[in-house]
């Protein structure tokens, strides 16, 4: 079976400023279905640019990108938007939830942008199912400000799942979270990945990358390392360790 993501000699040059910036320099990469990839690298190494290309939010200056065997370079803006809506889910560092909108309504949003029209009943049912997957259906009527950072990120993940995407793209999804909450979110990703979703996430934390199956490292726009994770961490095990360490600390208080 062909890889869901196939990049061939991809380049991205930003030439809007005074000096052109060659942000991605000839990246060739295959990501098979069911993969869970962490993209690492120093600030400015091209990680977000690569994610924007993978997410069809931006087009490569040169090179070929096949998403689920569809050649993205031949598509116009509307076709790209449709492809994004059908195949991709996005999660960001800052959650990007609408503040005056409940968790459930935030999750419904991507369904309003697609070509299909849904009844309000359908919207509600699907949003509730999506919230259920991330364990937050009981908070459906809460506003973002009434939720913790980890809960807000779970709402954002539920939103990304609403159109049943094949690939989840996450740019530093744990960057705004404390380390315990970060492990919790990695647990959600691991569960989704076990159910078959392909995940590509940017992180600059090596311990977070150890929850993924495969680690890529970028430097100056190039892919300089591509390796399988040898001793993969399991979020549920790590969570147990954290909780028992916390209860021991309480006993000795
Ligand atoms: P990372 O996510 O690894 O920090 P980026 O992909 O954001 O790296 O940036 C890679 C390079 O491209 C940097 O030099 C950055 O300044 C530049 N860059 C990113 N976005 C743009 C843009 N829209 N216009 C011009 N230059 C950009
Ligand atoms: Mg970045």
The minimum-distance atom of ligand 1 relative to the CA of 45 is 3
What pLDDT score does 251 carry? Answer: 79
Asked if the model's pLDDT at residue 252 lies above 80, the reply is: no
Angle at 168 between CA 206 and CA 223, to 5 degrees: 50
For residue 228, the tally of other CB atoms under 10 A from its CB is 9
- Tell me the domain boundaries of the chain: 3-252
pTM score over 0.75: yes
Quote the ligand 1 centre to 146 CA distance (angstroms). 34
From the CA of 46, give the closest atom in ligand 1: 6
The pLDDT tens digits for 87-116 are 999 999 998 999 999 999 999 999 988 788
pLDDT at 1: 72
Mean pLDDT computed over every residue of the chain: 94
CATH class of the region 3-252: alpha beta
Assess contact for 151 and 176: CB atoms under 8 A.
Answer: no
Which residue, judged by its Cα, is nearest atom 5 of ligand 1? 46
pLDDT (tens digit per residue) in 11-28: 999 998 899 999 999 999
* HEC assignment per residue over 199-240: EEEECCCHHHHCCCCEEEEEECCEEEEEEECCCCCCHHHHHH
pLDDT band of 138, cuts 50, 70, 90: very high
Q: What is the pLDDT of residues 30-83, one digit of tens each?
A: 999 999 999 999 999 999 999 999 999 999 999 999 999 999 988 998 999 999
What is the residue whose two structure tokens read 């942008």?
A: 113
């Amino acid at each position: 079976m062909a890889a869901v993501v196939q990049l061939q000699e991809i380049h991205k040059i930003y030439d809007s400023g005074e000096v052109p910036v060659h942000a991605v320099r000839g990246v060739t990469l295959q990501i098979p279905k069911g993969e869970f990839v962490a993209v690492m690298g120093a600030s400015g190494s091209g990680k977000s640019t690569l994610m924007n290309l993978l997410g069809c939010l931006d087009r490569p200056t040169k090179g070929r990108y096949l998403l689920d065997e569809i050649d993205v370079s031949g598509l116009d803006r509307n076709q790209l938007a449709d492809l994004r809506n059908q195949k991709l889910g996005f999660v960001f560092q800052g959650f990007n939830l609408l503040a005056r909108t409940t968790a459930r309504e935030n999750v419904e949003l991507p369904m309003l942008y697609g070509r299909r029209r849904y009844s309000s009943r359908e919207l509600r049912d699907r949003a509730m199912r999506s919230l259920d997957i991330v364990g937050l259906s009981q908070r459906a009527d809460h506003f973002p400000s009434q939720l913790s950072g980890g809960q807000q990120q779970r709402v954002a993940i539920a939103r990304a799942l609403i159109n049943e995407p094949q690939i989840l793209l996450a740019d530093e999804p744990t960057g705004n979270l404390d380390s315990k909450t970060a492990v919790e979110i990695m647990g959600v990703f691991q569960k989704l990945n076990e159910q078959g979703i392909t995940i590509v996430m940017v992180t600059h934390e090596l311990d977070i990358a150890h929850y993924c199956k495969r680690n890529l490292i970028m430097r100056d726009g190039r892919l300089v390392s591509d390796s399988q994770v040898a001793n993969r961490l399991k979020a549920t095990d790590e969570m147990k360790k954290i909780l028992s360490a916390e209860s021991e600390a309480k006993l000795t208080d």
